[in-house]
Each structure stands twice: as structure tokens, then as C-alpha cells.
Amino acid sequence: MSDSNSPQDWNALAERVARHVENYLNGLEAVARGDGGRHTVPLLLLEVSQVILAGAQLGASADVILPDNWEPEVGEDPDLDEIRQGLSERLIGVDEYTEVFDPYKDDETTSYRLSDDLVDVASDLVHGLRHYQHDRPLEALWWWQYSYFNHWGNHAGAALRALHAVIAGARLDVADEATAATEAAGVL
């Protein structure tokens, strides 16, 4: 990453992140509709991995500071419940998992749902994308970076680990309940 914080550098980063965000949102919608078929989990692993790359770029960048320390209004974000429901239906048998929320502070696991995590990530990303689409790349970057550290980065990371575990379990012939449920649900 460049050490410069010039408008051109911010604009280039915003463009890269926006492409990742659009790809993630389009991929999530397609999988929720059922377009992934038996490849649902591998496709979701790919989508989450690619959007985490965008998050890593945001995390490696200098803090994005808005000039007036104020985020302009973009209106209500879209309702993503249809996508959440579609993902839940496609992930039967593997939707629920447990995760350590913060490996440095927590020693107990927390229950999660992949469908919730994936849509929570989408919700944060779409909000920033709306700023970007209103020709406000700095506001988009600020939101994406802030929400990456505060919310969506954790959910994307947890979802990535869960998706990886499902695929690794199936590919390595690990006989456990998650693998059997995955095969029974026909998502791998």
C-alpha cells in the first residue's frame, strides 16, 4: 500500500473495494436464489475470501478521516431479509456453528448462523457502496473501514472459518455430524 493519502490513492482504493463489494453482493444474491446448486458452500467460501481481501486492504491502509467528521445521509439501506432466508434454505444442516468471538478476550464459544453472518457483512458493505454510487468515495471508504474493524470483518472471518471447516471436512473424509449434514443437504 502507498504511504500517501492523496485523493487519487483514496479513489483508487475505493474503486477496488467497490468492485469487491459488488461481486460479493451479486454472488450472495445468486447463491440465495439457488444458482449455486451443489456448489453452494464452495461458492460462498470464494465470495467471502474475496471480500476479506478488500477488508485486508482497508485494514492495511491509513485511517480514513472524513474532513468534517460527518457522514452524509444516503437514505434507508435495502432490506436483505430475502437473501438471508434464501441462504438459510440453501445452508440447511450447516447454517449454525460456534465460534470464539475474540480469541484474545473470550474463552467461550458463541453460536452463529452463516446466513446471518453473510447478510450482516452484505448490509455493512451495501451501505458504503451507496456512498460510492453517490460519488462520495471518501465516505464509502470511511464506512467500509470503520465497519470492517467494528463489525463485518469479524463476521466475515467467522463465516470463512465455518465454510472452510465444512469443505475441509468433506474433502478430507472427516466423519462428523457437519459433514453428514452437508452431504444430506446437498450443498457440497
User: What is the value of pTM for the model shown?
Assistant: 0.85
pLDDT score recorded for residue 177: 58
Each domain of the chain, given as residue ranges in start order, spans 7-185
The residue behind cell 451479486 is 26
Give the pLDDT confidence of 85-125 residue by residue, as tens digits. Answer: 999 999 999 999 998 877 788 788 889 999 999 999 999 99
Reduce the DSSP state of residue 111 to 3 states and report it.
Answer: strand
Closest CA to 44 of 148, 137, 182, 184: 182
Q: How far apart are CA 183 and CA 80, in angstroms?
A: 27
- Report the DSSP beta bridge partners of residue 112: 97
CATH 1.20.120 fits 7-185, yes or no: yes
